[in-house]
Amino acid sequence: MELSRPRAIMAAAGPWLLLLCLAAFAVLQAARAQHDNNGFISIDCGLSGETGGYEDKATKLSYVPDARFIDAGTNHNISAEYVTGSMAKSWRNVRSFGAGTRNCYTLRSLVSEPKYIIRAKFKYGNYDGLDSPPVFDLYIGVNYWYTVNISRSDELMIAEAIAVVPDDFVQVCLVNTGAGTPFISSLDVRPLHRTLYPQATVAQGLALTSRLNFGPTDEYAVVRYPSDPYDRLWFPMVDMLGWAVISTTKEVQHRNDDLFQVPSAVLRTAIRPRNASQKIDLSWSSGSSPMKPPPGYMLILGRPSPEYIVILHFAELQVLRGNAVRQLNVVLNDKPWYPQGFTLEYLYGVVACNSLPFQYSSYNLSVEATGDATLPPIINAAEIYSVFPTTHLGTHSQDVSAITAIKTKYRVKKNWMGDPCVPNAMAWDRLTCSYATGSNPRITSVNLSSSGLSDDISSSFTNLKAVKYLDLSNNSLIGSIPDALSQLPSLTVLDLSGNKLNGSIPSGLVKRIQDGSLDLRYGNNPNLCTSSCNMPAKTDMKLASYIAVPAVLLVVIVSLTTLLIYLLKSKKQGSMNNSITPRNEGHNSLRRLESRQFTYRELEIITNNFQRVLGQGGFGYVYDGFLGDGTQVAVKLRSHSSNQGAKEFLAEAQILTRIHHMNLVSMIGYCKDGEYMALVYEYMSEGTLQEHIDGCNRNGACLPWTKRLRIALESAQGLEYLHKGCNPPLIHRDVKSTNILLNAKLEARIADFGLSKAFNSADTHVSTNTLVGTPGYVDPEYQMTMQPTTKSDVYSFGVVLLELVTGKPAILQEAVPINIIQWVRQRLAQGNIEAVVDASMHNEYDVNAVWKVADIALKCTSQSSVHRPTMTEVVAQLQECIDLENAHGGDHANNDYNMSYDDFTTDQSTNVSQSITAFDMELNLRRSPTMSTGPATR
């Protein structure tokens, strides 16, 4: 594969210097070139008002007040003597934090890109009349960033970082270190495309110490937005040491795959030594900067023992005539970066940089002409960053969302700011966390006893999945107790006593009490229905001693409970037969189905007495069969001993008779014969997509990329039809790679509509109390709200796309099991697609198409549904990927695959069938029906 790469002028490097200043993501960058200021957040801290704001004169960017981003601190205007006419409005007021050790701004919905420029600005201006500028610390999330040490009241201090934000929010925190009251003037956040500044990774951020524009003559002429679409601040370096200026009025471009995208306005000017035989020197020592910002400005430098990233920008601005040669080298502390030197390109930017940080106590950097050069060296711009580690892990993001929702609902103040558990010393009062190396801390106990809580019990408590103790006693909570609390796997103590709760104890909790896994305290709730309803009187304290119950007794209790539940259910099933049809459908809905109806006897013939099992689900088995005309079919028979799935069965039958699409599995007929219910489908000989993704790793027969793309597009079309082609739209609710089936031509069809629901935004029926779906695929927003939407399917489909790209399962069983989305995000944040692509594709893919699919998948799996595309958009994007791949000349690998795959099915069919069964059984512990058809031996 030969992409049209620019001339690789940075190729040669010393052994200690790994250069990565060029990359090959031309297409994405081109798409990115249509900049707008979407995604910019510009906050004027301390500006009064909840809403409103103003347009900044110089940049035309909108600044908003900070009330939406923080709920602590007080507003102040700086003292009038420090206000100057030319000063931007955002410097005129501050928010200061007299209370609390840590105060944080929370910036949400950061989903467009994982990498951001974060800029905080400070002008003390004697706002408090104490004439005593403070010193305090800044953190990005849970990672230390800078110490702000303000020495003069009139100084304008700027702190800037480039950081990867793994979540869809980021916090900027000011920490009081006992040397004065922290304050802030303004806060800017600018998204950067993820491929830019590859030295900024999940593990390290870049803290700006210098960003120099060489050659302007006006010392105030800071280049920023809109000249720089990312709104970096390029500070002019004027007339230093008598350098001569070179400039052009022409546009200076950068290559599409340039990793730094320096704007033309910066590259258009350069300097050279006045004496052509000298060099350009820049020196600085650890903790200082070679930069002299415009009068009044200061960049914050204070990081102890910094490590540096140096990025130098060059562009030839003169047409070289005849034998003139400009050839440069960069020498740092007497070590040349490029043995042969390098030449520049006319009106194109080129970059020299290091990827691994330097760690010296002082730096003597020079740009020199090589021996072959006839012209003096030049330089157009330079950036110097110190590196800061961002390896501290914040609290598990689901816990953070849940506890934040709880904080908001009950207006909890305390010290509830920043990350709940990290750093340990600043963890939130009344919470206990567990810390394990290598994984995010979890919240294990919440004690909001006697905290003046009113209103009902927040459903967010049920999202604290690691919580063991939950104490809400002695408050004014009203409403009923959510049954979903019984789903908290680790919960052992739940204290709700001393509230105003009503209703009865929900059955799930009763069960947990009875099996001894929960100590529920609910005394002193006058309106709560206990003994007269479903609770044995006064058992709560007795059950609290469950630990002491001998194991044998426990087994007896559990068996009795199980027996009781079983009896209750069988009784219910009797009545269910009468009410099996959904509301408004009347008795004979199955008979009204258009498809062919089979008797049980006919099914026996078709399946040769149910001889060969293709797969298994919670409802029973799927059998192989042949119709009279020889058509092969799959027969899904509801086991009549199972009371589960009758509703799902009927739902699926009804849906499948109503909808038809080439990418949805089609139903040939059904059977409703006494107790027996069955659905007859077209036969999908190549089984589930999951087997193909998984089988690849073990058996060497691997789906080539072009097939994966096609399968992705076809499944997307199937889902799009459910969402758009059906009225009201249908939500599948269980999209996953085991529910995408492949026929002999490897065409994809969506299967298993047992959980599908009609969705009507005006209709509240969709909201249910049971979360359905499969772990690893469930939309977090649905999990929070219990309200599935078409975007929940989009989320699950995004997970399937990631499986296709990576060949990995939705949940990776590593030392600490990790969700595929997190796994991919972490790797892509480093700009490295190779680190995620399924190695079994042997690089036979167009890298741009793979990037694009990964990009679509990450958009689909955005935390917040509004940021996810619709299936219609996904289909269009995937079509573009196929076009890209075709342009790349793709289809070569397909025939090979069909051949090797046939071999594989014949040899391995037994193993594969076993693996489906095991897989489905595991799933069915968690959910209702699953349909699978395994590959066939023909």
Nearest approach in angstroms of CB 340 to ligand NAG is 23
Nearest approach in angstroms of CB 432 to ligand NAG is 8
Q: Residue 474 or residue 642: which is nearer to ligand NAG going by CB? A: 474
| Interface residues toward ligand NAG, by CB under 6 A | 48, 75-77, 93, 135, 147, 149, 151, 179, 275, 277-278, 283, 333, 360, 362, 364, 447, 449-450, 452, 469, 471, 474, 493
Nearest approach in angstroms of CB 275 to ligand NAG is 4
Q: Residue 283 or residue 608: which is nearer to ligand NAG going by CB? A: 283
Q: Residue 467 or residue 637: which is nearer to ligand NAG going by CB? A: 467
The residue with tokens 């919240």 is: 443
CB within 8 Å of 604: residues ≥ 6 apart = 610
Amino acid type, 85 = G
Could you give the CA distance from residue 229 to residue 282 in angstroms, rounded to a whole number?
27
Residue 728: helix, strand or coil by DSSP?
Answer: coil
Nearest approach in angstroms of CB 479 to ligand NAG is 19
CB within 8 Å of 876: residues ≥ 6 apart = none
Amino acid type, 763 = D
Q: Which of 257, 734, 793, 846 is catalytic?
A: 734
Q: Are strands 342-343 and 327-332 parallel, antiparallel or unpaired?
A: antiparallel
Nearest approach in angstroms of CB 460 to ligand NAG is 19
What's 92's DSSP letter? S
Q: Residue 68 or residue 430: which is nearer to ligand NAG going by CB? A: 430
Per-residue CA distances from 789 to 577, 719, 780 (Å): 30, 13, 12
Could you give the CA distance from residue 271 to residue 312 in angstroms, rounded to a whole number?
13
Cα 614 versus chain centre, distance: 36
Q: Residue 178 or residue 438: which is nearer to ligand NAG going by CB? A: 178
Residue 692: enclosing H or E segment and its boundaries? helix 689-699
Task: Concatenate the DSSP letters of all residues of 184-244 into one string.
Answer: ESEEEEEEE-TTSSTT--SSEEEEEEEEEEES-S-TT--B-TTTSTT---BEEE-SGGGPE
Q: Residue 493 or residue 893: which is nearer to ligand NAG going by CB? A: 493
Q: Residue 423 or residue 523: which is nearer to ligand NAG going by CB? A: 523
Q: Looking at the chain, how many residues does it have? A: 938
Q: Are strands 235-237 and 204-214 parallel, antiparallel or unpaired?
A: parallel
The residue with tokens 């130098």 is: 312
Per the CB < 8 A criterion, the answer to whether 772 and 733 are in contact is yes
Could you give the CA distance from residue 548 to residue 926 in angstroms, rounded to a whole number?
30
Residue 673: helix, strand or coil by DSSP?
Answer: strand
Q: Residue 152 or residue 250: which is nearer to ligand NAG going by CB? A: 152
Nearest approach in angstroms of CB 46 to ligand NAG is 7
Nearest approach in angstroms of CB 291 to ligand NAG is 17
Nearest approach in angstroms of CB 76 to ligand NAG is 5
- Extract the tokens encoding 415: 């010290």
Q: Residue 391 or residue 545: which is nearer to ligand NAG going by CB? A: 545
CB within 8 Å of 233: residues ≥ 6 apart = 119, 158, 160, 211, 222, 223, 224
Q: What secondary structure, in 3-state letters, does 882-923 show?
A: HHHHHHHCCHHHHHHHHHHHHHHHHHHHHHHHHHHHHHHHHH
Could you give the CA distance from residue 869 to residue 876 in angstroms, rounded to a whole number?
11
Could you give the CA distance from residue 184 to residue 56 in angstroms, rounded to a whole number?
18
Whether 167 sits among the annotated catalytic residues: the reply is: no
Nearest approach in angstroms of CB 604 to ligand NAG is 60
Residue numbers annotated as active site: 734
